Structure 1
Amino acid sequence: MLRYTLMRLGIFAGCLVVVWGLVHSGLAPRGLGDSNGLWIIVLAMLISAPISLVVLRKERDRASERIVRRVDRAKVSLEANRSMEDTADDSARAQGQAS
């Protein structure tokens, strides 16, 4: 997951540099008044999102598979703990009734 996040940040940083260059060279419009920095960030986010969606598809799928495996292991562990508690509770009740 860290790898995917770093790759996503890298794509955003690349888009940020490109948008900054385009805005300061006059090829892309400037923001209104003092909003130029915010304009550059928003524009870079809008451009980097679809690029990340397409370019990082395989990495996102790998991260998703790892998360699913972790959740499945946690479910198995939780179910094992529940069955151990049920067994312990049943034996305690049986001993309590025998007394």
Structure 2
Amino acid sequence: MLRYTLMRLGVFAGCLVVVWGLVYSGLAPRGLGASNGLWIVLLALVISAPISFVVLRGERDRASAQIVRKVDRMKAGIEANRAQEDVADDAARAQGQAS
């Protein structure tokens, strides 16, 4: 998951540098007044999102599979705890009825 996040940040950083260069060279429009920095960041976000979606597909699938495995392990652990509690509760009830 960390690898995917770092790759995604890398794609964004690359887009940020390219957009910054385009804006300051005059090939892309500047923002209004003092909003130039925000314009560059927003434009870089808009450009990096579809690039990340296409380029990082395999890494995203691996991260997703990793998350699914962790969730399944947590569910199994919760179910095992629940089963232990049920056994202990049944034993306590059986002992209480036998007295």
TM-score tier, shorter chain, comes to over 0.9
| CA RMSD after TM alignment | 0.5
Moved over 4 A (4+): none
Deviation at 1:43, TM superposition (A): 0.2
TM score, norm. by length of structure 1: 0.98
Aligned to 2:44: 44
Aligned to 2:33: 33
Cα deviations by residue, 1:56-80 (Å, 9 ceiling, x for unpaired): 0000000000111111111111111
Letter in 2 for 1:32: L
Letter in 2 for 1:50: P
Separation of aligned partners in 2, 1:33 and 1:77: 56
Number of aligned residues: 99
Q: Output aligned runs, 1:1-99, within 5 Å.
A: 1-99=1-99
**Unpaired segments of 5 or more residues in structure 1?**
none
Separation of aligned partners in 1, 2:3 and 2:66: 13
